[in-house]
């Protein structure tokens, strides 16, 4: 599948207009999700410099921007000056959702707080993503995704027990807060159908992380259990680990009784399923280390291909440890268009993750590439949508307001 410019918009949110004021990850990822679902995203960037995400990424080509800014139009406005703030108020008058991820109090300082914006447009939904939320003693503190991951409980349980807490490898705190912000916006859109009013969606980084911490807090309160870093092992749940093969590594998750019995048959050791050390979930958890060693001794004699064939034949949940190259070559990714190719004037042809989740009647899609330059859509948005004249746009540009 190849995404192209100005592809037809079939998304569920194609009648929704979003003003994105956020920068870096949390706010823009929320906008990416809404844009993939069909919303019109007008991204407001600082004149000249633009969103720092334009320069983020790894390797020689900084391509993160191409993902997070897809399906968006870029306008420029200096939110620190009255002229730029006035432009946002005019945009808000014709918008459904506004996204921001500034430190709490910043929007109010600019005269763009919820009270001011709702006075202009009572139906506006305001998504506010921040480190600690809009209230509480920490609200005014600076907060990035990693800090939210630490406070929300994630970092303490990720990595090996004999080493400092590990980072997941992606900015999961920012992405979770953005995803919950998107969920909140969708809920607020539904509520607006009943009430006719917009509302504020307050998504804190640490609380978004806290939401996926399973029973970590109740376990501590009821039994005093403190979860620890256990590396690749799911503590007390066995077998569920990455096992060595003769030519690589392979992940096997056979921690349910019937599934474990099937794994034992695949190993040619059906009697293990009846062994009192491994016959039940609790018993396998108590003997997790020796069971992992037993399985590793078996997988180590086989190739990844051979182990995978046995796991598929015996219906045991298992899988390879994928990198980008594996994804690009895998038939499952291809069959479901999990990756989509785009043709960029700057970077040429490359693939990125497709829009997700899949909707049967109103499919999401990548309809357009990320804006190549800051404010490239000033003329169409400010001229066509706001009715500015060419002279007014030129004056604002010369004054540094846009």
Tell me which residue of 163, 164, 170 sits closest to 145, measured CA to CA: 170
Q: What are phi and psi of 214, to 5 degrees?
A: 50, -130
Is the bond leading into 357 cis (omega within 30 degrees of zero)? yes
Q: Give the span between the Cα atoms of 241 and 232, in whole angstroms.
A: 6
DSSP class of residue 358?
Answer: -
Count how many Cα atoms sit within 13 Å of the Cα of residue 232 in the half-sphere of its side chain. 14
Give residue 231's region: left, alpha or beta (phi > 0; psi -120 to 50): left
Q: What token pair was written down for 256?
A: 């349910």
Residue (of 207, 84, 96) closest to 154 by Cα position:
207
Catalytic residue set: 174
SS3 251: strand
Q: Are 96 and 17 in contact (CB under 8 A)?
A: yes
């Amino acid at each position: 599948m190849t995404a192209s410019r100005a592809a037809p918009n079939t998304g569920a949110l194609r009648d929704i207009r979003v003003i994105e004021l956020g920068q870096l990850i949390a706010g823009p990822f929320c906008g990416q999700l809404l844009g993939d679902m069909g919303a019109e995203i007008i991204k407001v960037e600082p004149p000249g410099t633009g969103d720092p995400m334009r320069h983020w990424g790894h390797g020689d080509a900084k391509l993160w921007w191409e993902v997070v800014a897809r399906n968006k139009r870029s306008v420029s406005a200096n939110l620190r000056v009255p002229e730029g703030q006035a432009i946002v108020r005019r945009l808000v008058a014709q918008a459904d959702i506004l996204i921001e991820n500034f430190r709490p109090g910043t929007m109010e300082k600019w005269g763009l707080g919820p009270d001011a914006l709702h006075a202009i447009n009572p139906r506006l939904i305001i998504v506010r993503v921040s480190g600690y939320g809009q209230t509480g003693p920490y609200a005014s503190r600076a907060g990035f995704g990693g800090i939210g991951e630490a406070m929300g409980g994630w970092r303490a349980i990720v990595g090996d027990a004999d080493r400092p807490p590990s980072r997941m490898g992606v900015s999961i705190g920012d992405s979770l807060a953005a995803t919950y912000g998107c969920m909140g916006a969708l809920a607020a859109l539904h509520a607006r159908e009943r009430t006719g009013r917009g509302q504020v969606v307050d998504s804190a980084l640490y609380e978004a992380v806290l939401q996926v911490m399973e029973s970590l807090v109740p376990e501590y309160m009821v039994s005093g259990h403190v979860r620890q870093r256990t590396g690749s092992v799911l503590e007390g749940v066995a077998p569920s680990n990455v096992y060595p093969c003769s030519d690589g590594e392979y992940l096997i998750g056979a921690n349910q009784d019937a599934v474990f019995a099937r794994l034992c048959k695949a190993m040619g050791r059906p009697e293990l399923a009846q062994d009192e050390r491994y016959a039940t979930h609790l018993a396998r958890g108590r003997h997790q280390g020796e069971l992992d060693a037993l399985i590793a001794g078996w997988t180590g004699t086989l190739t990844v291909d051979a182990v995978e064939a046995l796991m598929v034949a015996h219906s045991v949940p298992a899988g390879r440890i994928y990198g980008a190259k594996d994804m690009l070559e895998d038939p499952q990714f291809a069959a479901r268009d999990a990756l989509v190719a785009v043709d960029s004037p700057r970077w040429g042809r490359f693939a990125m993750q497709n829009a997700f989740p899949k909707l049967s009647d109103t499919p999401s899609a990548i309809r357009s590439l990320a804006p190549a330059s800051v404010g490239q859509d000033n003329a169409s948005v400010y001229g066509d949508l706001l009715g500015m004249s060419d002279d007014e746009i030129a004056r604002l540009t010369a004054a540094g307001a846009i």
